[in-house]
Amino acid sequence: MYNTTTKNVHISTIKAGDTILFDGDIKTVSPNNIKKCEFMGTSLFGDSYHMGYKPVVLVRFIKGTL
């Protein structure tokens, strides 16, 4: 059983393998989901998170005890 915690982070701190909350779903980020653009900055799943002003919700899994 796993418990989850969330943390608001800047989009630039997200890397492949991280798990985020995106459109109400928990998604694991792969290298193909991260794009860098001079105009829009970094984007995840095509979303620039208001060009870095909106935080990304990082999900962490904590192993629970029974």
Nearest to 21 by CA among 62, 55, 64, 63: 55
In sequence order, the β-bridge partners of residue 25 are 22
Q: Is the pTM of this model over 0.75?
A: yes
Q: What is the mean pLDDT of the chain?
A: 92
Domain count, the chain: 1
Which of 23, 36, 2 lies closest to 14, judged by CA? 36
* Distance (Å, whole) CA 19 – CA 41: 20
- Confidence grade of residue 66 (pLDDT, cut at 50, 70, 90): low
Domain residues for 56? 2-63
**Would you place residue 65 in the very low, low, confident or very high pLDDT band (cuts 50, 70, 90)?**
low
